[in-house]
Structure 1
């Protein structure tokens, strides 16, 4: 079976592939990592969004690279973020689901996460927005390599006004460092305030290398937008929220240009998982991919990814190489000349692709895990084999409106099937009977994964899984 061929082409109507002045050879690159929450593959206008526009993200794409096959580490909040910052499949490090105020686990202090690696090279580090790797003090960002933290410890719906579990959650805390400075803050200020703190951090640290992780809580429900963007889109509140997030991206890139930092800064825009489609008009778009958040079909895990490093990334290119959020850590560690974690990771280095070497093929396969440790699918090249499992589906269910969710079945039988993602990105046509040799190869890949990471669907424990951090009794 041939591996996925790395293809990068010029975006129609955008700048041609060029490179300009290289950054100073002795200066480590700055890094701005922008992670949206529940923004779907189809929620940017370059991927077909309608009713609103994302001109700043589109401009960034025209000046950088769009990755069309970029996968979140897992299709749910905490697990996805754990994979992003550790370079591991989340189940390798004991993460699953979305941690809430009852959780007694978090990121293990033995894990070397991205800001800790970068600090060894002298980086200033900050995270603004949503954390979601444990809310107890020992799990908060300042204990894991970040110099600054301003944001919330878990999802913005985990507060007393939750649409389903009214008054189940305690007041939502807003942190400055390790201290709670406000409860149930006005969420209409979130996007503006987290953006402003990011801009301030960049200004204050422009003379040394910096890493800023802007983890926007939006467009995860409940949706809020500032007065400046109310009513700006034709798609109602959801479109307004996306337009304000796009504004945020524009503000950051504009600041980098003004400070003459653009040629030494890599900016990355991604999403933690696909859209939470049960929320109807308060949910995003999968861009025609199957299903959404909480599923291992493409709509749940394939997300937007745009990278720009002026003078380094070839301008206006589309890269069809397979890539994932677990690849961010090894990629940034390589660019920063930082040591890699001592413990085993799963990510690969994408820096050759970022620099325009399109012959590189750093990743040929991907494992789709969900729930505690279910191996629900595997991909190699253009082929994806989905294993029989029970899970969520948004099909043939009731869809919610105006902030209230519909009824989404969580235990539906998903049948085994083989999909050719080149011809059938919507995963509608099972071709398993026509390609038994492909099924056999993907089954072998799955067996390797089960031996290494385990699989609850087949009762395989796995040899190389690690424990999360825990609160002492």
Structure 2
């Protein structure tokens, strides 16, 4: 009887230890520093470790060599603001009302109800800093729109959108809510300088930190020091300037990583580099053969050149082929910290920790990407793209988003055809039926959360122009009231 009791007690203690370990995967000093760097409009084939033979990117390449490169890492959307919302919230951006890039002075913003990466880390005692292109509100001066401060960041230097007038001497940075006016230098250099300054000024340097560095480069309007421009002058103005801009961004990344190493932060830091979406369809940009580009749901618009390094966990020049997404960061953070989600909003990702150990990621729900006229879903090697019914004149844009149906499909096998050259929707009817059920269910899930915005510039001009080719030139359209703009949008 005593033996049975001892065995039962032992089993109970073992089970309790297992529960504790699962509920708190890392504690104290084991919590890693987390650094997430992101380029803007960088193509899948625009860095050396992803096949580029012209642009010199030794620092990004070294991260891949030290750590791992991810061959199937997908952004949160095919344009900037929605993609960033997807990473910050773990939710496909149409769930939180960000349908296109957020124009200056727009009412659109990442809402307070969304739990961000920074808020998760704050719960775990992290210092949090953001530096670069925010892209998640329309006006830093509008007190009704959350800034990085309200989204969990202790300190930040950010623009609400692109650098103005270019990457050189930008005039639209805000530092912790205060307009900075003209800042001398180049965007990537400025944000790296400020990030290093923040790291050096932290009062408790033993605390872990989350540092988000979202570069403006290589989004237009491009600018970089002359020595980089001259280096690629033989390739012509359009391509050469792009190559130079990426090279300069990589140089600044090198400065930052040198600082991280010098300050002995490297050994306990999980470092990521990626891009927010695919490149413009313009000379010099590369998807390494993938179909499509920015603003398209084909692989070239969504698949990003992603590398990570984390000593002892992600190292040794690994190549990880698992399909991962921006939506996976939030669930990964919860898993990493052994946390339950901080709200009940549906997430569209899964923890990527198994993939870092060479195991398959188990997804309860599949990630869904929704765009202005199409939607897509990937299930293992199969990818389906659905074309929504056309916008009907006289229908509000919100009603259209909430109720639109898919009317046509494309089907691809990414394992056999990663370049999406062969539509199998007619050749594989059974698989098409299976994938249709999956994507239609996920679209309905997103449509349930769509909420209307009240105010100006819900859609940027180029999107309005898509829905109504007859809108007047931007200079005239921008002077119309929100009501007149909405009326114009409905008159396709």
TM-score normalised by structure 2 residue count: 0.76
Residue 142 of structure 1: SS of its match in structure 2? helix
Residue matched to 1:115 = 118
Match of 1:270 among 264, 274, 280: 274
List per-residue Cα deviations over 1:304-345 (Å, max 9, x = no partner).
Answer: 111110121142111111111111122133324455230222
What secondary structure is seen at the aligned counterpart in 1 of 2:224?
coil
Q: Report the secondary structure of 1:434's partner residue.
A: coil
SS in 1 for 2:114: coil
TM superposition outliers: structure 1 runs of 4+ over 6 Å: 467-471
Aligned match for 2:160, one of 148, 153, 165: 153
8 Å contact kept, 1:118–1:333: no
Higher helix share: 2
Residue number in structure 2 paired with 1:448? 441
Q: What's the secondary structure of 1:106's corresponding residue?
A: coil
- In the alignment, is the contact (CA less than 8 A) between 2:85 and 2:136 conserved in 1? yes
Taking the TM superposition and a 5 Å limit, the aligned residue runs for 1:2-81 are 26-81=29-84
Kindly report which structure 2 residues correspond to 1:83-122, keeping only aligned pairs within 5 A, or say none: 83-122=86-125
Gap change, CA 1:357 and 1:423, over 3 Å in 2: closer
1:176 counterpart = 2:181: no
Partner of 1:14: none
Q: 2 CA distance for matches of 1:276 and 1:143?
A: 32
Is the contact between residue 87 and residue 325 of structure 1 (CA under 8 Å) also seen in structure 2?
A: yes
The separation in 2 between residues aligned to 1:363 and 1:239, in whole angstroms, is 41
Structure 1 residue 117, shift from structure 2 partner: 1.5
1:66-465 alignment runs, 5 A limit = 66-134=69-137, 135=139, 136-137=142-143, 138-156=145-163, 173-183=172-182, 185=183, 189-205=186-202, 206-233=205-232, 235=235, 236-277=240-281, 279-281=282-284, 284-342=285-343, 343-354=345-356, 356-362=357-363, 365-371=366-372, 374-389=373-388, 416-454=409-447, 463-465=448-450
Q: Which of 1 and 2 has higher RCO (CA within 8 Å, sep 6+)?
A: 1
CA distance in 2, matches of 1:123, 1:469: 35
The Cα of 1:294 is off from its aligned counterpart by 0.6
**What CA distance in whole angstroms lies between the structure 2 residues aligned with 1:256 and 1:338?**
28
Shift of 1:390: 8.4
Contact 2:119 2:151 in 1 (8 A): yes
Secondary structure, in 3 states, of the residue corresponding to 1:321? coil
SS at match of 1:341: coil
> In structure 2, the residue corresponding to 1:268 is in which secondary structure?
strand
The normalised TM-score by structure 1 is: 0.79
> Structure 1 residues 52 and 380, CA, compared in 2 at 3 Å: closer, same or farther?
same
The total of aligned residue pairs comes to 403
Contact 1:106–1:468 at 8 Å: present in 2 too?
no
Cα offsets for 1:371-396 (capped at 9, x unmatched): 2xx552222111112223589xxxxx
Cα deviation, residue 28, structure 1: 1.2
SS at structure 2 position matched to 1:129: strand
Rg bigger for which structure?
A: 2
Stretches of structure 1 that go unaligned for 5 or more consecutive residues are: 1-22, 163-170, 392-413, 455-462
Structure 2 counterpart SS, 1:352: helix
Q: Once the 2 structures are TM-superposed, how far is the Cα of residue 367 of structure 1 from its aligned partner?
A: 2.0
Three-state SS of the structure 2 residue aligned to 1:326 is: helix
Deviation at 1:230, TM superposition (A): 3.1
CA displacement 1:73-104 (0-9 Å, x = unmatched):
11011111111100100001111101112311
Separation of aligned partners in 2, 1:54 and 1:441: 42
Query: How many angstroms apart in 2 are the aligned matches of 1:25 and 1:176?
Result: 30
Following TM superposition, by how much is the alpha carbon of 1:364 offset from its aligned partner in structure 2, in angstroms? 8.1
Distance 1:313 1:469, change over 3 A: farther
